[in-house]
Structure 1
C-alpha cells in the first residue's frame, strides 16, 4: 500500500505551498496516520461523526467490551436498550445496523473494496445510510491511504485552513485544496498536524 506521507510527494508539495512549508519548518513532517481497513474501523468512524474523538473512543470501547467479538452479526443481535447502555445514540445505533446488514448481505464487501477506484469506493460506502462524504473521506484517507482526498466536512481541517490562509468562504477553501492536487491527502495531514501541535494535543484514533 502506498503511504500518504512520503519523501517525493513531500518535496513537491512543500515547493508548491509556502504555508505548508512553514508548518513543516515549525512542527516537522506529519505522522503517516493509518488505521486498519475493515468493518470495525468503519464503525469507529461512524461513531466519530459530530463528536469529539475522545467521546467516540469511549463509546466504541464500551460497545466493544459488551460485544466481546466486534462483528456485524453481533451488532445485529443488540437491542435498543443494549445499544443505549453502551452509550450508542439511537441514530448511530441505526447506522451501525445499516452497515452490519450491508456487510452480512454482501452488499458491501470491505475486504475487496480497496481494489476499486475512488469514485466507486465512495459510491459503495455512501450508499449505506449513515455514511456520508466525511466518513467516506476518512476511510479513504486513514484506511486505504488514497493520495488525493480532501475532507471538506472536517472541522479541524477547515478551521486550520481559515486560520492559516486568512480565508472564510467555502469557495476559497476549495480553491486552495485544488492547488494541492494530486497530494491533497498529504496537505490534509499537514492541516491536522498543525491543528494538534498548536493545541498541544495528541491524535486519538
Structure 2
C-alpha cells in the first residue's frame, strides 16, 4: 500500500500556502482571493453517510440533496450501512430517493456491510487505488469519487472536472466563449498542480458569489 505524501493532504497551513502559490501563478485566482477572501475549506466526515450525501447530490441542486439527506438522518438517527439497509423502497421514496439512488446507496451499504469495501482504509491509499475501489460500485463515477477525495479525505490535488459549477465559474473567470468540457478542464488546470483542490474551492467560492447556492452539480 502506497503511503500518501504529506503534501497531498490539506491542513490549515498547507491550505494557506497553496492559496499563495495559486495567486502567484494565476492572476484570475489572485483576483478572487483579493476580492472575496479565502474560500471555506469545506470538509465532510469520511464514511458511509458522506458518500450517501454525495450520491444524493448527483445531477440535482445542493439544496434538494441536503433536504433529502436531512430527512434520511431524521429517520435513521445513526446512519450506518446496516441501518440504511433496514429501509424499504416505500420509506426511501418517501424520504425523497429516486429509484436509481435507492439502488446506488443500497449497493454501497451492502458492499460495506458484507466486507467488500472498507472505507476506513481509503485514507491510506493513493488516489488511483481509491478510484478503482469506489468505481466498482454502480452509481459511483469520477465526480462522486472526486468530491469524496476533495472534501472527506482532504486531498490537495483533486479537481472534479465533471462539476458543472466549476465549468461555469472557469468560463466566466477566463471570459471563454463556451463552457469548457471535462477534458478541457483537465487540460486547463494542469498548471495548478499540486493544489488543484484549493483552486476548485476558489472557483466554487467565486461561483457561489455570482449565483445562488441552489445550483446543479456534476455527475
User: Using the alignment, how far apart are the partners of 2:90 and 2:164 within structure 1?
Assistant: 31
Candidates 119, 124, 142, aligned match of 2:151 = 142
Task: Tell me if 1:187 matches 2:199.
Answer: yes
Q: Distance in 1 between matches of 2:115 and 2:97?
A: 25
1:3 paired with 2:15, answer no
Aligned to 1:115: 124
Residues 39-50 of structure 1 mapped to structure 2, 5 A cutoff: 39-50=48-59
Q: Which residue number in structure 1 is paired with residue 113 of structure 2?
A: 104
Distance 2:139 2:130 in 1: 15
Instruction: Tell me the alpha carbon deviations over residues 8-65 of structure 1, each in whole angstroms, 9 at most, x when there is no partner.
Output: 2222111110100011111011111111111111111111111111111111111221
Match runs of 1:19-168 below 5 Å: 19-167=28-176, 168=178
**Bigger mean CA deviation after superposition, 63-72 or 52-61:** 63-72
Unpaired runs of 5+ residues, structure 2, are 1-8
Where 1:131 maps in the other structure, the secondary structure is coil
| Structure 2 residue corresponding to 1:196, chosen from 198, 203, 208 | 208
User: Secondary structure at 2:66's aligned position in 1?
Assistant: helix
Higher relative CO (Cα under 8 Å, sequence separation at least 6) belongs to 2
- Which of 194-203 and 86-95 deviates more? 194-203
In 1, the alpha carbon distance for the partners of 2:100 and 2:201 equals 29
The total of aligned residue pairs comes to 203
Secondary structure of the residue that 1:13 maps to in structure 2?
helix
Secondary structure of 1:107's counterpart equals coil
Q: Using the alignment, how far apart are the partners of 1:201 and 1:175 within structure 2?
A: 27
C-alpha displacement of 1:202: 9.3
CA-atom RMSD in angstroms: 1.8
Give how far 1:71 is off: 1.3
**Deviation digits for residues 49-90 of structure 1 (CA, Å, limit 9, x no counterpart):** 111111111111112212232111122122111111111111
* Cα pair 1:196 1:202 within 8 Å, conserved: no
- Taking structure 1 as the reference length, the TM-score comes to 0.93
SS of equivalent to 2:139 = coil
* Contact 1:3 1:32 (C-alpha < 8 Å) held by counterparts: no
